Amino acid sequence: METLLAVWEAIPETWQNLLWIIVKILAIAVPIMLAVAYLTLAERKVIGYIQVRIGPNRVGPRGLLQPIADGLKLALKEIIIPTRANRFLFLMAPLLALAPALAAWAVVPFDDGMVLADISAGLLYVLALTSLSVYGIIIAGWASNSKYAFLGAMRSAAQMVAYEIAMGFALVGVLMAAGSLNLGEIVRAQEGSLLHWFWLPLLPLFFVYFISGVAETNRAPFDVAEGESEIVAGFHVEYSGMSFALFFLAEYANMILISALTAVMFLGGWLSPFQGIPGLEDLFAWVPGIVWLLLKMSVFLFLFLWFRATFPRYRYDQIMRLGWKVFIPITIVWLLVIGVAIMAHLGPWFD
């Protein structure tokens, strides 16, 4: 221990900072990767039970080692590059899909002050990064030199742009209500009780944001970019092995990210749901905030799986109609409502 400390002291200060940041990044990224792995298992189990099946139960106790087996299988498979595909972009695309999904976590607060980068424009940062995830998909579709992949990419590009606008407007509502772009401040602005959380004053935006989030992650019922029953697997039809696994990781990491953001912005992040209720508040005071956040995230993740098991896939023109003609007008109207509410100091949120 002594020697370790001595080694640490010997490193110049700028490098110390850098190392410390890298450690923090790993502390976020590794659990996310694990969570992704087990989310795939959860998905198969949940959908299995919804469809009155059992789901995977062969590898390990109750199938718990299934994700590890899947990962090993994918890692050992060959990466096939199609003829006349653009080699560089073809291999670059999965990385471009995964990187924004992980980078956005830098500003997500897990507890009061427990955040990698406490920057003032956190919300904008999140919005900017989530808008980048589409590049991985478009480039994959184009570089594959395949018609199905290209169709998937085109669909995805149009869909993402449409829903990003609604999503952005929903976030504008949040920032108006909180008066800050910093995600920690946004959570602190919701302090008080369950009814102080922004889901209530921003109810339409809450729904719009979450549904747009489902669309942004290309999950069912908005998964026309994959559309396995019509264009086989869409943009990643030509991918195999690890490069395919990266797309998979990116999709699930995005789901977790959207869940976390929804929880932070509309359900009070790390705040306890029993705040402000006499008795219960003290009873649960010992629970750390991160547990509440994880619980809230789980609810949304379950919703993702539930949607997939329940809804049939939207037709393409219906997706466009919903995005442009329903969500965007709703958000704009609600922004007006929030503006009036703020000007009128409507309690208990804006007083």
Partner 1 sequence: MSIEPVLFYIFSAVLVFAAVMVIAVRNPVFAALFLVLAFFNSAALWLLLEAEFLALVLVLVYVGAVMVLFLFVVMMLDINLTPLREGFIKYMPVGLVVAVIMLLEIAVVVGPENFGLDQVAPPPRHGADYNNTAELGSVLYTVYAYPFEIAAVILLVAIVAAISLTLRRRPQTKYQNPAEQVLVRREDRVRLVKMEAEKAGSAEGAEGD
**Contact (CB, 8 A) for 293 and 269:** yes
Q: Is 127 in the site for partner 1 (CB under 8 A)?
A: yes
Count of residues interacting with partner 1 (CB under 8 A): 28
Torsion region of 195: left, alpha or beta (phi above 0 gives left; psi -120 to 50 gives alpha): alpha
Of 85, 93, 98, 134, the one binding partner 1 (CB under 8 A) is 134
Could you say whether residue 91 binds partner 1 (CB under 8 A)? no
Interface with partner 1 (CB under 8 A), residue from 11, 128, 195, 299: 128
Based on the shown chain and the rule CB under 8 A, indicate whether residue 251 belongs to the binding site for partner 1: no
The closest alpha carbon to 199, from 291, 256, 276, 265, belongs to 265
Is residue 70 near partner 1 by the rule CB under 8 A? no
121 touches partner 1 (CB under 8 A)? yes
Among 8, 26, 30, 120, binds partner 1 (CB under 8 A): 120
Do the Cβ atoms of 284 and 274 come closer than 8 Å? Answer: yes
Binder to partner 1 among 35, 154, 309, 342 (CB under 8 A)?
154
Residues numbered 173-212 forming contacts with partner 1, rule: CB under 8 A: 181
Chosen residue from 150, 222, 247, 274 binding partner 1 by CB under 8 A: 150
Which span sits near partner 1 by CB under 8 A: 134-142, 213-221, 243-251, 288-296? 134-142
How many CB atoms neighbour CB 91 within 10 A? 17
Helix (H, G, I), strand (E, B) or coil at 111: strand
Per the CB < 8 A criterion, the answer to whether 290 and 110 are in contact is: yes
Residues 6+ apart with CB under 8 A from 252: 36, 39, 40
Asked if residue 160 lies in contact with residue 145, where contact means CB atoms within 8 angstroms, the answer is: no
Residues that bind partner 1 (CB under 8 A): 14, 89, 119-121, 124-125, 127-128, 131-132, 134-135, 138-139, 142, 150, 153-154, 157-158, 160-161, 164-165, 168, 181, 321
